[in-house]
Amino acid sequence: MTHPAEIFRALHVKGNPLLMINVWDRGSARMMQGMGAKALATSSAAHAFTMGRPDGGTVSRDEALAHAAEIVSAVTIPVQGDFENGFGDDPDTCAETVRLAAEVGLAGICIEDTALPAQTAYDFELAVARIKAAAAAARALPDDFVLTARADGILTGAYDTDEAIRRLQAFDAAGADCLYAPLPPDMAALAKICAATTAPVNALVAGQFAGHSLADYAKIGVGRISLGSSLARITHRAIHDAAHEMLGAGTFDALQHGISSDRIDALLA
């Protein structure tokens, strides 16, 4: 039987992007699989929300692993773990995180270059050493494993697009299988990132980037699209708006627009 990570790897094609949907519990995972998703991912922010915590280094590695195992057990399609900075600063910790992620059945993980819970970027050499160690651990596993290396400095304001490209090129050379610089300034910058690297590039659909289609991303050579916490935030928007109406105006119009139980049951079955 083909290992989920082999299936996952084959879905990464430059110019024919995989839509990888980020979920946050067994129900959302099964619903997305039922609607035709080919791969899923956890979301560190969405997971934190379910635990009543803000995003950004508030979830431990043990908690993330247990959460990921729950998602993996709910579906038959590949699942990637959003594992923030690998849950430690040093390269050995990143390598151990890869091994533990494989043990719970994840097809891959992403590791970013931000020294959480702060928003500062790791020095270039350390950032590359972390990915090199993680990639070596992935290649030493008995089965395939897809390692995504993130350059988050554009997102956090730590550095610009050129520095993100420099880091992504180094991560590529260090053995990363997929590259990711969340929310560059615009589509032109994203196209520049895709052209500057050989490994498939992940694009985050959030903010202005939600205004572009799958075909738009394919045209500039994106290899994978993820949602981050966007889908979870839509869900929280529905909760917020319905509660605002109920607790404010004392009316319940928002509750008339829910999806039917029959439809949900069918997707979860």
Q: Which residue ranges make up each domain of the chain? A: 4-230
Both tokens of 188, joined, read: 């032109």
What pLDDT score does 55 carry?
A: 84
* Residue 269 pLDDT exceeds 90: no
Both tokens of 17, joined, read: 């992007």
pLDDT tens profile 171-183: 999 999 999 999 9
Mean pLDDT of 12-27: 97
Mean pLDDT of 112-124: 95
| Residue 62 exposed, middle or buried by CB count within 10 Å (0-12, 13-18, 19+) | exposed
Q: What is the CATH number of domain 4-230?
A: 3.20.20.60
Alpha carbon distances (Å) from 129 to 114, 125, 163, 217: 14, 6, 16, 30
Nearest Cα to 146, choosing from 2, 42, 47, 7? 7
User: What single-letter DSSP state applies at residue 92?
Assistant: H
Alpha carbon distances (Å) from 201 to 31, 34, 137, 191: 26, 26, 21, 10
pLDDT tens profile 55-86: 887 899 999 999 999 999 999 999 999 999 99
Q: Please give the model's pTM, rounded to 2 decimal places.
A: 0.94
Query: What's the mean pLDDT when you consider all of the chain?
Result: 96
What pLDDT score does 33 carry?
A: 97
Both tokens of 23, joined, read: 């979920």
What pLDDT score does 7 carry?
A: 98
What pLDDT score does 58 carry?
A: 87
What pLDDT score does 18 carry?
A: 98
- Say how far apart CA 196 and CA 211 lie, in whole Å: 24
User: What single-letter DSSP state applies at residue 247?
Assistant: I
Mean pLDDT of 118-127: 96
Mean pLDDT of 135-160: 98
Cα-flanking dihedrals φ and ψ of residue 27, to 5°?
A: -65, -50
| Residue percentage of the chain with pLDDT more than 70 | 100
* Residue 90 pLDDT exceeds 80: yes
